[in-house]
Structure 1
């Protein structure tokens, strides 16, 4: 029973850290990354379609994204979708491909992004703590039902705390790496 609770909690904690990593991919750090366009959707034959399903996205240079649509007729719609998105980028098209030049981040924008990174990290720390609380409640329920002894319950709670500490450290490391990436000039 205790092992199941710990395993389930650890799985959820891993997923929480992975979700944070995925979120951080969408934060522009002054470097071209095809993941920036993952959330951009284009109206294609009446259905909102992600850019990566309509075109090949590559980063040939550190500050350049090249979007090469498989169907050239979607080019104007792609441009509009990128302009409407919250990326703050202006696409340039030559009729065959769209180029997105990623501008250098200003110091002000960098500090805003760092605040966002810290905020997201804190949100994920809270999620981890909530997972710990839920697991501890499950252990306490087992104690109340006399399925496990008090000592086993205490030991399980200590192990859950160690898991929580481990994943909070991991969240901190991921956040620090992203902050360093953003502040890199």
Structure 2
């Protein structure tokens, strides 16, 4: 049981470390001679809404394939069709369920699922978290302390994630984002 917890914690830390291991040059798309010990000449737009390596794409929305018009589709991802927002679809300006994001490293689009994956601290029960934040548990691996939870109402998930992180009840909390997975096979 401790081996599984250690492994999951290690994997979570490795994913964070690998994201932060990218050099500033690579993330900003600058060549080595553009740095020269000075501030980069290209500045990331401060108005962009980001979470880790993800940037919100407010001009796109993810709709279930059964509801989306094929003529309006720009891409399909999982069971979702990504559609450009127009008069019929309200732009999503926050990290909410079905918001579309772009991974700044891979360039791939993803969909915010509306779920949070949580690794609880030892001695903390999921009921404590459910009561404090009004979550519903979607999936659980009780022996490892990993739970997938969903807020009771649709709202911006970043402030909720930060509140959970500051609560002292968890080791790790992640916003779930559906992306294409690539393998070497």
TM-score under structure 1 normalisation?
0.26
Q: Which has the higher contact order (CA 8 A, sep 6+)?
A: 1
Structure having the larger proportion of residues in helix: 1
